[in-house]
Chain A
Amino acid sequence: KQEVTQIPAALSVPEGENLVLNCSFTDSAIYNLQWFRQDPGKGLTSLLLIQSSQREQTSGRLNASLDKSSGRSTLYIAASQPGDSATYLCAVNFGNEKLTFGTGTRLTIIP
């Protein structure tokens, strides 16, 4: 079964620190992987999309990496800010026209 796992479920980090969020998936034959941000009571906002042929993508303070052979992706956030507090979800396209989502990591940046 194709599954996506995110551990830990929650993470608290002091402001200013760099941090890494993890995502693992069970099938290495993926089309792409996306990281989303979800604020309380809101929908999902796409942060970064990595195609299967890519190793990483960067947007501002965010850097996402992809290692298909090990079934892992990481989202690196540099110089964290209180405004980064949100739930971060990873979603994988296994090539079947649908995204499979992880359960998310709830991130709290402590001022």
Chain B
Amino acid sequence: NAGVTQTPKFRILKIGQSMTLQCTQDMNHNYMYWYRQDPGMGLKLIYYSVGAGITDKGEVPNGYNVSRSTTEDFPLRLELAAPSQTSVYFCASSYSDGTSGTIYFGEGSWLTVV
């Protein structure tokens, strides 16, 4: 009953370092998403994917990269971390584009850039 799994849950990065947030889902969902949530703000879409090999930018893609080599995995890469990337990151997946299906979220990854 895993659903959407994100790792790591917590991470502290120094300015300029790079890291990858891992996300995997076991529901055979086509659509996967990465959101960030800043205090007092709604979730902002970073990148999304409609299937293996297909990715597209969301609302706030700068400073991030993604890949989707398999249906299950959708890692988010942070290059040259900046303090503005301190946030909580959520991965999500859905069977369709959300027009008819429920979207499932992971438990989040807390990232601090110092």
Which A residues are closer than 8 A to B by beta carbons?
4, 9, 31-32, 34, 36, 41-46, 49, 51, 89, 91, 93, 95, 97-104
Among B42-50, B69-77, B78-86, the stretch in contact with A: B42-50
Are B99 and A44 in contact (CB-based, < 8 A)?
no
Q: Are A51 and B100 in contact (CB under 8 A)?
A: yes
Q: Is the pair A49, B42 in contact by a Cβ cutoff of 8 Å?
A: no
13 CB-based A-B contacts, threshold 8 Å: A32-B98, A32-B99, A32-B100, A34-B98, A42-B108, A43-B105, A49-B102, A89-B43, A93-B99, A97-B97, A101-B44, A103-B41, A103-B42
Known: A43-B106, A99-B43, A101-B43; 16 extra A-B contacts, CB below 8 A, are A34-B103, A42-B108, A44-B105, A51-B99, A51-B100, A89-B42, A91-B43, A93-B97, A93-B99, A97-B48, A97-B97, A98-B45, A99-B98, A99-B103, A101-B35, A102-B42
Chain B contact residues, CB within 8 Å of chain A:
4, 31, 33, 35, 40-45, 48, 50, 58-59, 90, 92, 97-100, 102-108
CA distance A99 to B102 in the complex (A): 11
CA–CA, A34 to B99, complex, Å?
Answer: 10
CA–CA, A95 and B100, complex, Å? 11
A98 touches B42 (CB 8 A): no
Given contacts A97-B48, A98-B58, A99-B103, contact A44 B90 (CB under 8 A): yes
- A79 to chain B minimum Cβ distance, whole angstroms, is 25
Nearest Cβ on chain B to A54's Cβ, whole angstroms: 12
Cα distance A44–B90 when bound, in Å? 9
Cα distance, A8 to B73, chains bound together (Å): 37
Bound-state CA distance A31–B103 (Å) is 14
User: In the bound complex, how far is the Cα of B59 from the Cα of A4, in angstroms?
Assistant: 15
Chain B residues, Cβ within 8 Å of A99: 43, 45, 98, 103
Chain A residues with CB under 8 A of B33: 98
Q: How far, in angstroms, from A97 to B55 measured CA to CA in the complex?
A: 12
| A41 proximity list for chain B (CB < 8 A) | 107-108
**Once bound together, how far apart are the Cα atoms of A99 and B95, in whole Å?**
14
3 tightest Cβ-Cβ pairs between the two chains A and B: A101-B42, A43-B105, A44-B105
